[in-house]
A = this chain, B = another copy of it.
Amino acid sequence: MATKGQRGERRAGALSKERIVEAAIEILDAEGGGALTFRALTARLETGSGAIYWHVANKDELLAAATGEIIDRAMAEAVGGAEPREAIRTIALGIFDAIDAHPWVGAQLPREPWQAAMMRIFEGIGGRLQALGVPERARFDCASALVNYILGVAGQNAANARVFAGEVDRTAYLTAIAERWAQHDPAQFPFVRQVAAQLGEHDDREQFLAGIDLILAGIAAVSRPDDK
């Protein structure tokens, strides 16, 4: 939440890691992943680069902190003591939406194997698998499958945002994708061409959730004790 004590005074406030991370998130959100430089940061915070390095070790740590902040918020909203299967879907959707709102997170998340952000997701999902009744031996594999799937979608979404940075319109975006797909040789890419026709009625979020459900169905099939 907000800083304790005096609030509101932003300009005169002392520099802190939180203020730096907050400024970094603002820059990343407004201008995209490539726009975060120490020069842009010093301009926005009205300091020198050395001041930032006093609070933050380097750019990687700054990026990790910014990513952690976004994921933390998303996970906090997805707490709900709901039924475990639904809880997993909620967590996954929360992360999807967070990355949709902050595409640069999608590029950063896969780069943080054991950073706090990744572990929070892993923990959140793994805990629900336990509640779901997945046998202990299979839990690691199942959590890993779900997390890796989420990370893959995250990376793709970030790449899409990078490529189609201009298009704000959703249909224009889908049209652009369909055009790219149509560019491929039909003889060599029959499936791609065939699927391109379905792009009109396609919804990224729904497809993401369909993938989660697919994996959950697989988990259910595998962890059913009467199975084989």
Contacts and interface: CB of A to CB of B under 8 A. Distances in A.
Contact of A191 (B130, B180, B181, B222): B130
A211 interface: yes
Interface string A177-197: 100110010001111101100
Contacts of A184: 119
A188 B124 CA distance: 10
Given A113-B159, A122-B191, A218-B215, A145 B149 contact: yes
B152 A215 contact: no
A211 B180 contact: no
Instruction: Name the residue in A195, A202, A218 with the highest tally of chain B Cβ atoms < 10 Å from its Cβ.
Output: A218
For chain A, give the interface size range.
35 or more
Given A113-B159, A202-B140, A192 B122 contact: yes
Interface string A148-186: 111111111011101100000000000001001100100
19 contacts: A110-B110, A111-B159, A111-B162, A122-B192, A123-B188, A123-B189, A123-B192, A126-B191, A139-B195, A141-B214, A148-B149, A148-B152, A148-B156, A152-B153, A152-B154, A213-B218, A213-B222, A216-B218, A220-B221
